[in-house]
Structure 1
Amino acid sequence: MRFIASICILLLPAALPAYSRTWTSTDGKEVEAEVVTVNANQTVALRTHSGRTITVPFNTFAAADVEHLEYLLSRKGRGPLHAVPWNELNQLFGIEIWQDDNLWDDATAETANRMGLAKESKTDFMENHRAYPLGEAKVLKEPVYTTVLYGGTEHVASISFVFANQGDMPIPNGQISPGLIEQMAVKIEESGEHVHNVLEPVLGEPKRDTLGKGDMREKVWRWDWNEHAIMLTVAEGKYAALRIMPADRADRAGRVEKITEAELKKRMASCVERHENGDVVIRNIPMIDQGPKGYCSPATWERYLRYMDIPADMYLLALAGNTGVGGGTYAHQMMAATKSLISANGRELEPIGNSLAPQNIAEYIDQGLPIMWRFMSTSDLQFAANRNTAERKGQKIKEKNVPSSGYGGHICLVIGYNERTGEAAISDSWGPKYAERWIKVGEVGSQNYQYGSMNVIKW
């Protein structure tokens, strides 16, 4: 192996290049050198610390090195491979995210499985998987409260880790005070600082960047790693979060490539199902589980926006809509906060009255447009929805087993109707079990309509 011998003579105890690797020849000799380029004719140009470059065949080296070279050849044209390998990044994060240096060609469900995430929703156009460790697990050595993986029809689209935040952090004795809010803000700032301090020694100093626009704009610290943008944000004492998305999408401030208005209308119309019993229902609305917090408004908005092919995140929506500690959002603030986002995507928010009657909602459901319904929720109304849904399936229920929304404001999606039976289908952000429930319109009392309203997002 004359090549190995010649390099060994040139090696000095100086610092090796950032992308150096220990190479082993077929007869067991080792040398450290940096890859300059790999070629289609199965040769590689290597450079030593002294700057000398020599080109040799792949088969100069042992099988493991040949495999590595073939891998480098397969990714040629995607830029230089980052000095930090994917398996070390997994170790740093403390969770199995990557199986190679490119997450964006990985199947969503398989990635969720190795990350230990449960399926939250799968439609014909997207899927998402989520976990609520609520601080009982760690990512980047910091307690994580929510982990969510978003995917398209096949592959991973983005990942989000939410650390300390005002929605998921426990509230002692259920009492919210100015002192508690200040304590939360300090913990959130510290959480973001801890994550920053874990990433920086490994990935280097981040650059400052932004995601979103208008009220949805976030300042982030951004690290780039092999076509991945790893972005940390600490949002006004509300939450600390880390998002991973394709670098080219981050370059567009998080925007995705839009489908045309005609394509979206056609897709939404295809989601309307009509059944022999008279049910008309919209399918393919993604589920977002708000978890143990009062985020019905941010979660419902995220569901609707994603259905409309507009990326959204309930924690950012909660920030923009000034959602309170533990939950609670004023409708006018959320509508004002999302106005620019909706407008930027060529849509508008339209009020449509305040009645679940089929004659009021049918024209929108028939187009594949869900309806956001704000109303006064009561345990009686929620029980009626559960009872009626069970009876449709030939079942009976005995207890009022629904998540407590209390007597107060609530928001859900209206996704269907039945003119024959005088029923409407509603969908709550409480997980798959509550994706579709049916309620008799006549059982909705005046107290439920109090302070209520309905809106659709349309063109």
Structure 2
Amino acid sequence: MIRPFLTLLLIAATLPLHAKVGEWRTLRDEQGNALMVRFEGIQDDRYLLRRQKDGRLFEVAPGLLPDGERTRFEKEASDLNRELEMLRKTVGKPLFAGTPFEVRDASEIAKSLGLRPESKTKHSTSWRLYADSTYRLFGARPYSVALYADASGHPTNLSAVFANKGDFGSTAGQGEEHFTGGTEATIKSLAAAMERDEQAIEKAISSALGEAETQRYGEGKSRRTVKRWDWNGHSLLLSSEENEYVSLSIVPLELAEAGGKTAKVRDSEIKQRLAADVTRDPNGDVYLSQVPMVNQGPKGYCVPATFERAMRTMGITADMYLLAMVGETSIGGGTSVQKLLENVRSQVYRKGRRPKDEKVKRLRIRDVKKYIDDGVPVMWTMRSLNEYNSVATKNTQRRKKVTDWSDWAATIAEETAELVESEQVQANHHICMIVGYNEATGELAVSDSWGPSYERRWVPLGLANWVSQGGLFMILP
């Protein structure tokens, strides 16, 4: 929420007329106390100012300013509008406005970019688009554009990923279809595409905002060198990791100033939040209702996408593309669970959380119940076979009409017994999440990183064991 400035804070200023847009400026109150502020746009015919000491945004009506100070703000507003028009031309989409991301309605930004809803929980919202070959941002084709917002609906990060080893040349389909197809890309063709995209994006942004500065950004294994431009409370960060990806992130200026290091969520706060997110229905269903969805898209990123979901549930900022990089993912996808787990341990520990893995020979309700009851999702290695997916989808729909749950338990047990007598096929190796259980009916709630329609499907325990590979991975508070 933006708060109005008190009139007494806007009596006089002590900065010359040649001050640059975005510089900190000194204002003084009636008692002569200095207040450092920065101009950050216009909203509803009011100036937006950021207070340096705590980073809070305030608004002030131009009529409250002395004539000289109003002239200075008018000059900054004029410069801002000129740069805004230049940015809009280089972006190719109506992405920017005269106010910082953090006070805008994220849903409006998503709509302007053609992004589709991906996830909505009490704690965050996200939108994503896997763009076709005609879509352009900053003169290049992004494969994925994702927008994240906080609980209040204000944007926290926009991430566009251009040529990258997961999407580039992939012939896989979306959802369950990603087990078919492969990739037509090579390291050589990927490198050429990355170079082309990086040059196009840098040229487009520099034409509006000048030359970039470079800095180190991120934490742990995902720390990298980025090219950075600052504008009106935003930082635009261009990253190119050799044979990995080209990405552009737009984040609040303060996050860039902190090198991408985010604050740790307190243990007490995360435990309280996790407990509140456990839903218990009258029929015995117990499940996690606030796990963020990530759609891995047309590539084999089930491992990094699932880890991102688990980390974000635990209050840790994560991105599947960065996780794919540290997990040494191959072109088109395919990441080792163990390798990724090794490389994210330090990041998990740094945020005060604990990674844990178990190997179970036969999966039981009690193996996951203790974690689900505490609000912790369980990552599970399995084989996503066609028969399994058919039952998971059909049973989830059939459950909506069930009135006799004892009869339902007997029915699915009989159906499962017939199916699991068939030969086990070693194919479609996958990782997903177990996010719930029903002890009375003997079912598990399973969530795949394939978009909203796969958020929670109910699977008989016998069927889960038929496809299980026995690996369980958790991030604990």
When normalised by structure 1's length, the TM-score is 0.79
1:365-384 correspondence runs (5 A): 365-384=372-391
1:322-366 CA-to-partner distances (Å, cap 9, x unmatched) read 111111111111111211111111111112333542111111000
The residue identity in structure 2 corresponding to 1:418 is N
Residue in 2 that maps onto 1:300? 306
C-alpha distance in 2 between matches for 1:153 and 1:70 = 23
Root-mean-square deviation (CA), in Å?
A: 2.9
1:22-61 correspondence runs (5 A): 40=10, 47=17
Residue in 1 that maps onto 2:266? 260
1:179-328 correspondence runs (5 A): 180-328=186-334
Residue in 1 that maps onto 2:472? 454
Instruction: Tell me the SS of whatever aligns to 1:142.
Output: coil
Residue in 1 that maps onto 2:418? none
1:208-262 CA-to-partner distances (Å, cap 9, x unmatched) read 1122222111211111112211000011121110000011111222233332110
Instruction: Tell me the SS of whatever aligns to 1:259.
Output: coil
Whether 1:166 aligns to 2:165 is yes
Does the Cα contact within 8 Å between 1:189 and 1:237 map onto a contact in 2? Answer: no
C-alpha distance in 1 between matches for 2:450 and 2:182 = 24
Residue in 2 that maps onto 1:358? 365
Measure how far apart 1:43 and its partner are. 10
1:392-413 CA-to-partner distances (Å, cap 9, x unmatched) read 1239xxxxxxxxx992320101
1:377-424 CA-to-partner distances (Å, cap 9, x unmatched) read 2212222211221221239xxxxxxxxx99232010100000001100
Residue in 1 that maps onto 2:461? 441
The residue identity in structure 1 corresponding to 2:158 is I
* Percent of pairs with identical residues: 33
Q: Larger Rg: 1 or 2?
A: 1
Instruction: Tell me the SS of whatever aligns to 2:200.
Output: helix
Instruction: Tell me the SS of whatever aligns to 1:75.
Output: strand
When normalised by structure 2's length, the TM-score is 0.76
The residue identity in structure 1 corresponding to 2:369 is A
Unaligned runs of 5+ in 2: 1-8, 20-40, 53-72, 173-180, 403-424
Question: Could you say if the C-alpha distance between residues 406 and 296 of structure 1 is closer, same or farther in structure 2, counting changes exceeding 3 Å?
Answer: farther
Residue in 2 that maps onto 1:13? none
C-alpha distance in 2 between matches for 1:48 and 1:444 = 68
Residue in 1 that maps onto 2:432? 412
Residue in 2 that maps onto 1:9? none
Does the Cα contact within 8 Å between 2:42 and 2:98 map onto a contact in 1? Answer: no
1:268-309 CA-to-partner distances (Å, cap 9, x unmatched) read 000001111000001111111111111111111111111111
User: How many residues get paired?
Assistant: 392
Question: Could you say if the C-alpha distance between residues 40 and 373 of structure 1 is closer, same or farther in structure 2, counting changes exceeding 3 Å?
Answer: same
Instruction: Tell me the SS of whatever aligns to 1:411.
Output: strand
Instruction: Tell me the SS of whatever aligns to 2:429.
Output: strand
2:354 to 348, 352, 356: 348
C-alpha distance in 2 between matches for 1:218 and 1:237 = 14
Residue in 2 that maps onto 1:157? 156
